[in-house]
Structure 1
Amino acid sequence: MSKKKGKGPTLFINQSFSGTPSDTNMQEIFKSRLETEPKAEEIESPVKEMRKPVPSESGDSNQTDRMHSGFNRVKPFKEMNVQERLDYLINFPKVLPPVPCVFYTADEKFLGTLRAADDHQITIETANQLSETIPINQLKNIVMIGIKR
């Protein structure tokens, strides 16, 4: 058997280079105007006053603020107190795997993931698939370890 050796391309396109790229209209200068302090007329304008959202008396001012800001600023986990950390872990997105944490009490520390919580106690699943129930009033600190891969 003989092997056929491939040849190069069989189609050749002749292109003339009569025009050079310097003949095209290219952008040469770019100017940018920085926003400075607002003018005095803009600050005291009655139209601006009418556009401000008025918080309702039912306490919806927090919701109004969230609607106008594109993103909800979330406090870092390290800056939260114990109750805020519990609320964060309880409301952790279900599409993500549960985050392992260290739950500190006055006497012990428990390594595991939060499985259930109610008003008085939490249930933690430890690394060896055992469940531990801890009263919330005994919790001193919660430290997030991270997501295991």
Structure 2
Amino acid sequence: MEEKQKGKSPLLYIDQPNFVKPDFSMQHSYSSHSNTINKTENKPPTPKKPKNSVPFQVQTNSEEHESFTEKVEHPAEKPKSAADYFRKQANSGKRTWNLTPVKAFKEMSIAEKLQYLLQVPRAQPPFPCEFIKEDERIRGILESKEGDTIRVKTFNGEVRTIAIEELQAIRIIF
């Protein structure tokens, strides 16, 4: 028989180099030891060990479930995971956290708002606020609190001193 000539494969490059195609050869013979075949044929089959798995059953009655679970032998305790260890530690201590609920800024009193604005971390930029008095509104950033007065740096750059009793409201400007 003649092998059919295959057409040329498509070019992969503009200037296709001539590649030498390898010859594929299949395995034509094999050998084995005759001793190993005879040994495996004469060997009796090994008995299979029963598994400790429970087949799936639908329980319709709780009494059947109790009797079924009593019959099953439980294997040795499984090793404890780290999560189980820490859960057990947390439950044994029964720590109580003294967390206070956080109020919204609008719900705070003026003293609480001032305290909140003074405790802003330095890594965070300060909140621009509007300090409302009876006759005027001052927009700026709270700098400090000194006794019964606060110092506010306005957006113009001037520092204003305001008495806390004169304040009616403080709003954060976004």
TM-score, structure 1 as length reference: 0.51
Aligned-pair CA distance for 1:51: 6.4
CA distance, structure 2, for counterparts of residue 141 and residue 80 of structure 1: 10
The alignment status of 1:118 with 2:146, answered yes or no, reads yes
Aligned residues: 87
CA distance, structure 1, for counterparts of residue 134 and residue 94 of structure 2: 49
- Matched residue type, 1:82: I
Q: How does 1:1-149 map to 2 (within 5 A)?
A: 65-66=97-98, 73-146=101-174
Instruction: Give unpaired runs (5+ residues) of structure 1.
Output: 8-49, 54-63
CA distance, structure 1, for counterparts of residue 165 and residue 94 of structure 2: 43
- Matched residue type, 1:100: P
CA distance, structure 2, for counterparts of residue 102 and residue 52 of structure 1: 45
Aligned-pair CA distance for 1:82: 0.9
> Which protein, 1 or 2, shows the higher relative CO under an 8 Å CA cutoff with sep ≥ 6?
1
Instruction: Give unpaired runs (5+ residues) of structure 2.
Output: 1-12, 17-91
The percentage of aligned residue pairs carrying the same residue is 36
CA distance, structure 2, for counterparts of residue 104 and residue 125 of structure 1: 14
CA RMSD of aligned residues (A): 2.7
Bigger Rg, which one: 2
- Matched residue type, 1:94: R
Q: Provide Cα deviations, 1:37-83, integer angstroms capped at 9, x if missing partner.
A: xxxxxxxxxxxxx9666xxxxxxxxxx642xx5xx532110111111
